[in-house]
Chain A
């Protein structure tokens, strides 16, 4: 099913499809989304078809009809897609209507941050849900997310053990850190494994990475259904007093979400970066 994003200035509409084959039904969905914006003064309409491997001719005709009114209003129309889709559009001579691009940043560099911000928010919200579910099921613990803040604009979280993981997709990249004070971590692991732990031994040191993996596994399943095609690296564990796990590009802005629970506080930290090209990393 097609989805859409309107840029912050309301001037760019991005219509996205997750379908690998773009057929008439999906094109009709796109046309419907477009029709909802007929009153808007759009400068650009971008069809984000990067996940589609082919487009059917009837679907292309539907889209051509759907954009005709916008072209009269001098709205630029673009398709971002894989080479076979773009070649088909050119073969039909429709590249005079649809500008063809293989990368979002080619069309309008300022669109990328808008997409990135939206994706980061979607990722964060899905991750928060996955985290609450994971703690409930695997440790029988209810957790509450506090107000998120940008690192530096709120208290420095007390972290003594943490796991960090890099995340990559064609529309989003970043890193996620899950961190605990020792006391909270021991309580979490005692519930997770089902036996009492009073010190962090080698048996439980990697548990923080295991929890992060489970949270991301949950989030990934939901996000990939929305077309994220998210891949993750292997989490790494760090320990130390007043630990601050810096992302690879430490000058990027990161968001901290503090958590409270009956077994103590803990934190997650999301750092996002610019859009990346598809990667083969897993």
Chain B
């Protein structure tokens, strides 16, 4: 949803991320990943909501992991439901980290930092 994208973008800016892309659907988000990869300006971190109208965040994650170029791309899922079965499914599908709403600014920044540092140890 637009509001959640505003919230997440604000937190990423506060952390010093400058080049932010946003999509309102899973499939358009995947299109952006491919386009940026082709343009040699690859996206370095994906934050996706779980509930989206046409392609869920989990479906997007599976599609990303099924694409050779994005197998190790840091991918975080944000969801309103913290049921164990969901978490297990996301982990099995290769999610890098998982954030359950509601969250505080500190908790989302901490999770993003964990994922970012894991994939960019020198950064």
Binding site for B on A (CB under 8 A): 133-134, 137-138, 189, 192-195, 202-207, 209-210, 213-214, 216-218, 220-221, 224, 234
Contact = CB atoms under 8 A, between A and B. Distances in A.
Interface stretch (B38-46, B66-74, B75-83, B110-118): B75-83
Contact of B83 (A134, A189, A192, A221): A221
A217 B7 contact: no
A221 B80 CA distance: 10
Given A216-B80, A220-B81, A234-B53, A204 B6 contact: yes
B81 A221 contact: yes
B104 interface: yes
B102 A137 contact: yes
B80 A213 contact: yes
Given A195-B10, A221-B81, A221-B82, A214 B102 contact: yes
A210 B81 contact: no
Nearest to A194: B10
Contacts of A209: 1
A138 B10 CA distance: 14
A138 B2 contact: no
A189 B3 contact: yes
Q: Which of A193, A202, A209 has the most CB of B within 10 A?
A: A193
Given A134-B102, A137-B103, A195-B6, 6 more contacts: A133-B102, A203-B6, A206-B3, A217-B101, A220-B83, A234-B53
B93 interface: no
Contacts of A133: 102
Interface string B1-19: 1111011001100000000
Contacts of B101: 134, 138, 213-214, 217
A205 B102 contact: no
B1 A193 contact: no
A238 to B, nearest CB: 15
B103 A138 contact: yes
Interface of B: 1-4, 6-7, 10-11, 51, 53, 79-83, 100-105
Contacts of B6: 193, 195, 203-204
A204 B2 contact: yes
The 3 lowest CB-CB distance pairs between A and B, nearest first, are A217-B80, A207-B3, A138-B102
Contacts of B100: 217
Contacts of A217: 79-82, 100-101
A209 B51 CA distance: 12
A98 B3 CA distance: 53
Given A189-B3, A193-B10, A207-B1, A137 B81 contact: no
A189 B3 CA distance: 8
A217 to B, nearest CB: 3
B104 A137 contact: yes
Contact of B3 (A134, A204, A220): A204
Contacts of A195: 6, 10
B59 to A, nearest CB: 14
Contacts of A207: 1-3
A204 B104 CA distance: 18
A182 to B, nearest CB: 15
A193 B1 CA distance: 13
A165 to B, nearest CB: 12
11 contacts: A133-B102, A134-B102, A138-B102, A189-B3, A192-B7, A193-B3, A195-B6, A207-B2, A210-B3, A218-B102, A221-B82
Nearest to A195: B10
A234 B24 CA distance: 15
A213 B104 CA distance: 16
Contacts of A194: 7, 10-11, 105
